Amino acid sequence: MANIQPFRAIRPTRDKASLVATRSYLSYNEETIKEKLNHNPYTFLHVINPDYNKNLRSEGKAKYELIKQKIKSFIKSQILFKEDSSSYYIYQKSDKNNSYTGIIAATSINDYLNNKIKIHEQTISKKEKMFRDYLDITEFNAEPVLLSHTPNEKINIILKKYVDLRSEYEFTTTNKCLHKLWIVNDSKDILNITNSFKEIDTLYIADGHHRCASSALLSKDKLSEESNYFMSFLINENQLNILNFNRLIKHTNNLSVDDLIDRIKVSFKVTIKNNTFSPTLKDEIGMYINNKWYSLIARKKKYSSISSSLDPSILTDYILKPILNIKDERKDENLAFYNGNITLDDIKLKVDNKEYAIAFILKPIPFYSIKKVADNNEILPPKSTYVEPKIRSGLTIYPLK
């Protein structure tokens, strides 16, 4: 039984929604952030970067205090306001290839702690603590956790009812995505949504493991009702689009290319490819090093678990740890993760320019495999999946008091 409830969101006024909404600040480079901050006084990036124009920027808890004051100033200036009554929010993001529609709600942390909300990736303790402190001091959360659920006809009926109506927000972003948001404040519809989710046994974290973990940490210390929930975007699992996360390594662990390949050959069939290469076969991983592309196909093995049979674990267990001496992917600064939206040409360039020594290219993991891992209480290496949709920050903000 999934326990969700409506909440009184802090959100932009209708006329400013398109100007406030932003991608996650982590997805922007420094130059782009600066350009947006200099030219858009309404962007939510001002809240996240309250001291961007100062010579000496704050860090840690001092910065979180500034963020708290900045969101208060956005509310005072009537850029943002708090909803009069508790509501659910239906959000839709569409591009030329996909359309995603789901419900933004407050989801129970007890469900997460009691394993009713399943995880599949490791989290980093340092990040958990950092995000926990961020939530504690700023007293809001602007990025919902992406949760998936099995198809439910009652939920589909409610979604269709609203998407056929005029939305509260409707705008297109520069990446040619159309964004819409509807407010669900009718008491009957709220009850129907709440009860429909009670028919769903299990939710799965598709994106936002750290946000979930940090909210759980916060709930142990906070007494407010709001801190017992976290903001989520709940979506039918059939809508998810799962991309791969590729690995780039800064060194060869002092091995020559020939020695490295010889060691890889112990566990993989290695084939040189003439052109830019992306793996497609079972247990196949791509590799780019020294101006050459390779196919690496794992030799047949008896895997001890479902997670250990998937490409990210195979790469970790048979190359990264034993050959390249990367023992902890959560902490090693010689390892970088690039999602599947980054082109292979861009990845190749990073290796050719000596920014990295090796690139490993992985295939997307199908969602049914991710569910099996989660259902078995297993864990994949960090950054095993890149899941879409990524929704805009600042459209609905969850107050923690």
Q: What letters, b where the CB count within 10 A reaches 16 and e where it falls short, cover 7-40?
A: bebbbbeeebbbbbbbbebeebeeeebeebbeee
Residues of the chain with CATH 3.30.1760: 245-363
pTM for this one? 0.89
CATH of 4-242+388-399, one of 3.30.70.20, 3.90.1530.10, 3.20.20.220, 2.40.37.10: 3.90.1530.10
Q: Which residues contact 288 (CB under 8 A, 6 or more apart)?
A: 277, 294, 347, 348, 351, 358, 359, 361
Tens digit of each residue's pLDDT (9 = 90 or more) over 296-329: 999 987 888 999 999 999 999 999 999 999 998 8
Q: What average pLDDT does this structure show over 220-246?
A: 92
* Residue pLDDT, tens place only, 39-71: 999 999 999 999 887 777 788 899 999 999 999
Distance CA 48, CA 119 (A): 27
Residues of the chain with CATH 3.90.1530.10: 4-242+388-399
Tokens (6 digits) for 43: 């962007």
Q: Enter the DSSP assignment of 364.
A: P
CATH number (3.90.25, 3.40.462, 3.30.1760, 3.40.1710) of 245-363 reads 3.30.1760
Write out the two tokens for 389: 């949709």
Does an H or E element contain 218, and which? helix 209-221
**326-358 per-position pLDDT tens digit:** 998 878 899 999 999 899 999 999 999 999 999
